[in-house]
């Protein structure tokens, strides 16, 4: 049990991607996964043949040291169907320390102008919008994901080529460019180039510049592990957007959390689930070093994440981490449990839950995908027992969050037997607890996806969440929420030795209001809203707890306002 009240410290080629975003939300359309049906067929090139076929002076080769204004023919790609290369005249419109900005000639001063190019150069070389404003895309992405390929052209700079796509997409990385033209089944521009769509978004706007960071990560990931699972690779590219400071909007996935983390269908919810997972992995399990290790792992998918967790010294395996991630997505409160149940770098919207408000709840049969969860919310309750039964061939992590006044009060696992059956008593539901959420998580790659839950009656509490407990009661008197003082009345039916203490919502003890013997009767206490050091605490939710030496306890919630 994790209790936030008291002193325990916790510490085919489908290229038209569907966008399930809210109105006004940006939605990455990255073609990497769709193109993998082709790029996965790339064959090895012997080292002595890894030389460009477009030598100096070739009509399709950039000059050895390109300057602004230099032009040449380059392959662009028609992607509405089987990929077809077209030769288009392209011109360097900007050169930075780490990047060339190249624009197909028909798009210059039509969809792309000099202001766009200047914004891109600034973003690649000098600055970003997030936590590292003095670093650009090149530095941020390479230091967090790994070395940049430079296989053919012996020029460490990356090319960004804008042209008008014939499909609804933002950009892509084409792995065939990493091999000499003519050695593979598709043409190659023989240099490190990212393709960006000039026609659907502002080329120099924050969003499409951030997508360049997304595609740049794909290029880096190709060098490190060219067959990485799409969900891992896309999650890292979404993290690259976050590092730049313009991540995708968190929509779609929160409306349907029953979405297998390890599956990739290319819809917008898939981008968001992998974004949130990779950000959670970054924040909770080692930051930059863990992500670098993950990208460099030859093992893919879950196996690669398991290795990265082990190398980071984590005691959690993948299933443990995913179970905590389910909670973090619903709670998003980094003040709880040493930050395990929230995000520092992202503010999440509410996640959709099924609501139950009539009791007892008869047996409800449901399904949830592998590496996914349902949230079932119980309100308007009464003391009850919540029963869970998971399909016997899967691994399950049912967890229960209890709330008081909208604030998480405790998190408890439902302990399952060998048949994946279990239950938990909620004797304070409807009294000290006003909301309960069942997190029905499936943490397995195969097996059953069916589960069921139901409730039955149970005797009301003497556990300590209620305000009355076996001859011991605690109540507020006067103004509430309070500004300067919270007045309390503690009543005893017989003498007792007890401690009356104040706790923050994450369980830290802030102040002792009484310790020792008290006679039977009613006793008044005042908390002045200060901690043990005399500092005024911030506005928010706090808990008062009285515990007797014989183990009886009561708790009371108080809200401090300004």
List, as one string, the DSSP characters of 151-217: SSS---PEEEEEE--SSS--EEE-GGGGS-TTSSSS----S-EEEEESSSS-TTSHHHHHHHHHHHH
Predicted pLDDT of residue 459: 61
Question: From residue 112, how far is each of 163, 451, 522 by CA, in Å?
Answer: 9, 53, 77
Among the listed residues 102, 38, 36, 32, the one whose alpha carbon sits nearest the alpha carbon of residue 67: 102
* Fold of domain 468-560: Immunoglobulin-like (2.60.40)
Question: From residue 91, how far is each of 71, 73, 189 by CA, in Å?
Answer: 4, 9, 14
Predicted pLDDT of residue 439: 98
Predicted pLDDT of residue 465: 40
Q: What is the pTM of this model?
A: 0.81
Q: 480 - beta bridge partners? A: none
The H helix count followed by the E strand count for the chain is 9, 24
CATH of domain 32-224: 3.30.2010.30
Tokens 């880096």 belong to residue: 220
List % helix, strand, coil for the chain (3-state, nearest 5). 25, 30, 45
Sign of CA dihedral 136, 141, 143, 148: negative
Domains of the chain: which residue ranges? 32-224, 248-351, 353-457, 468-560
Cβ partners under 8 Å of residue 262, min gap 6 = 229, 231, 301, 302, 370, 371, 445
Cβ partners under 8 Å of residue 38, min gap 6 = 13, 83, 176, 185, 186
Two structure tokens written together for 272: 């968001």
Predicted pLDDT of residue 26: 60
Predicted pLDDT of residue 20: 33
pLDDT in tens, the chain (562 residues): 554 433 322 223 333 333 333 334 566 777 777 888 888 888 888 888 899 999 888 999 999 899 999 999 999 999 999 999 999 999 999 999 999 999 999 999 999 999 999 999 999 999 999 999 999 999 999 999 999 999 899 899 999 999 999 999 999 999 999 999 999 999 999 999 999 999 988 999 999 999 999 999 999 999 999 999 999 999 999 999 999 999 999 999 999 999 999 999 999 999 999 999 999 999 999 999 999 999 999 999 999 999 999 999 999 999 999 999 999 999 999 888 788 999 999 999 999 999 999 999 999 999 999 999 999 999 999 999 999 999 999 999 999 999 988 888 789 899 999 999 999 999 889 887 899 999 999 999 999 999 999 999 876 443 334 455 568 888 888 887 788 899 999 999 999 999 999 988 666 889 999 999 999 999 999 999 999 999 999 887 788 888 888 878 787 778 787 6
Predicted pLDDT of residue 427: 86
* Fold of domain 353-457: Jelly Rolls (2.60.120)
C-alpha 499/C-alpha 378 separation (Å) is 33
C-alpha 484/C-alpha 188 separation (Å) is 71
Query: What 3-state DSSP class applies to 142?
Result: helix
């Amino acid at each position: 049990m994790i209790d936030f009240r008291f002193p325990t410290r916790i510490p085919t080629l489908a290229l038209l991607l569907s966008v399930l975003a809210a109105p006004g939300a940006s939605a990455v359309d990255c073609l990497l996964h769709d193109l993998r049906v082709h790029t996965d067929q790339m064959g090895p090139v012997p080292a002595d043949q890894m030389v460009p076929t477009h030598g100096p002076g070739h009509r399709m080769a950039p000059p050895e040291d390109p300057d602004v204004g230099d032009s040449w023919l380059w392959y662009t790609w028609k992607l509405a169907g089987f990929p077809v290369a077209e030769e288009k005249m392209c011109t360097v419109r900007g050169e930075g320390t780490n990047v060339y900005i190249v624009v197909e000639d028909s798009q210059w001063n039509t969809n792309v102008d000099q202001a766009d190019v200047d914004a891109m150069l600034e973003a690649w070389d000098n600055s970003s919008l997030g936590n590292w404003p003095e670093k650009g895309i090149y530095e941020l992405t390479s230091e967090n994901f790994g070395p940049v390929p430079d296989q053919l052209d012996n020029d460490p700079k990356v090319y960004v080529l804008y042209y008008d796509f014939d499909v609804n997409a933002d950009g892509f990385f084409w792995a065939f460019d990493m091999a000499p033209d003519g050695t593979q089944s598709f043409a190659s521009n023989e240099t490190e180039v990212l393709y960006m769509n000039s026609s659907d978004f502002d080329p120099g706007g924050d969003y499409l510049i951030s997508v360049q960071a997304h595609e740049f990560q794909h290029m880096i990931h190709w060098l490190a592990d060219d067959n990485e699972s799409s969900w891992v690779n896309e999650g890292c590219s979404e993290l690259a957007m976050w590092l730049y400071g313009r991540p995708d909007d968190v929509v779609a996935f929160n409306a349907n959390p029953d979405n297998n983390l390890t599956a990739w269908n290319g819809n917008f919810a898939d981008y968001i689930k992998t974004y949130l997972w990779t950000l959670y992995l970054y924040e909770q399990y080692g930051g930059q070093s863990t992500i670098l290790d993950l990208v460099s792992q030859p093992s893919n998918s879950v196996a690669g994440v398991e290795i990265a967790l082990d190398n980071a010294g984590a005691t959690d395996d993948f299933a443990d981490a995913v179970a905590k991630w389910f909670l973090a997505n619903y709670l998003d409160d980094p003040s709880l449990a040493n930050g395990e149940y929230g995000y520092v770098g992202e503010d999440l919207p509410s996640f959709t839950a099924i609501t139950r408000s009539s009791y007892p709840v008869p047996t409800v049969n449901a399904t949830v995908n592998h590496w996914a969860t349902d949230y079932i919310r119980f309100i308007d309750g009464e003391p009850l027992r919540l029963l869970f039964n998971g399909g016997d061939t899967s691994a399950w992590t049912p967890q229960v969050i209890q709330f008081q006044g909208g604030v998480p009060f405790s998190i408890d696992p439902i302990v399952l037997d060998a048949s994946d059956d279990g239950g938990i008593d909620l004797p304070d539901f409807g009294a000290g607890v006003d909301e309960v959420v069942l997190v029905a998580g499936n943490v397995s790659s195969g097996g059953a996806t069916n589960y069921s839950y139901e409730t039955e009656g149970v005797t009301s509490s003497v556990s300590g969440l209620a305000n009355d407990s076996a001859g011991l009661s605690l109540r507020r008197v006067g103004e509430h929420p309070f500004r300067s003082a919270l007045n309390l009345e503690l009543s005893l039916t017989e003498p007792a030795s007890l401690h009356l203490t104040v706790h923050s919502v994450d369980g830290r003890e802030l102040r002792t209001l009484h310790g020792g013997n008290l006679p039977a009767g009613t006793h008044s206490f005042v908390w002045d809203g200060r901690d043990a050091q005399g500092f005024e605490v911030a506005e928010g939710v706090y808990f008062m707890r009285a515990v007797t030496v014989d183990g009886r306890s009561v708790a009371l919630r108080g809200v401090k306002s300004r």
